[in-house]
């Protein structure tokens, strides 16, 4: 019988400085959807970093599109799959900001 993941456990959110461009991360669970402060429903999911620490991220639209194209829409299928991290500059609210874009490996 599969374990039921306790998403309420305290997992720190990823800081951009904790990953490098080109790092490989592994999806630790299927995540969950939460409403953000702008009223959008966003996927939050836990990942395993190269140093084996677990962090939580909010998956941006570009990353989600990339991942769904390779892994499918059911995030349970993403568990234990790998993605490559790329740091890219994006426009957010008219301001340039560094963001993580995930690409399936």
Q: Which residues 6+ apart lie within 8 Å of 17 measured at CB?
A: none
Give pLDDT tens digits for 29-58: 999 999 877 788 999 999 999 999 999 999
What is the predicted pLDDT for the residue at 71? 98
Burial (CB count within 10 angstroms: exposed 0-12, middle 13-18, buried 19+), residue 46: buried
pLDDT (mean) for 6-25: 89
Cβ count within 10 A of residue 44: 17
Q: Would you say residue 21 has pLDDT above 90? A: yes
Residues in the chain: 105
At 6 the pLDDT is: 58
pTM for this predicted structure: 0.87
**Hey, where are the domains in the chain?**
16-104
Over residues 44-93, the pLDDT tens digits come to 999 999 999 999 999 999 999 999 999 999 999 999 999 999 999 988 78
CATH architecture of 16-104: Beta Barrel (2.40)
């Amino acid at each position: 019988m599969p374990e039921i993941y306790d998403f309420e456990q305290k997992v720190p959110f990823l800081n951009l400085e904790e990953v490098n461009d080109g790092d490989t991360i592994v999806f630790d669970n299927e995540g969950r959807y939460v409403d953000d402060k702008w009223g959008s429903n966003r996927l939050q999911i836990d990942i395993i970093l190269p140093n084996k620490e677990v962090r939580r991220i909010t998956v941006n639209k570009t990353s989600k599109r990339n991942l769904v194209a390779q892994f499918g829409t059911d995030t349970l299928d993403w568990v234990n799959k790998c993605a490559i991290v790329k740091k890219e500059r994006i426009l957010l609210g008219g301001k340039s900001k560094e963001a993580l874009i995930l690409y399936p490996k």
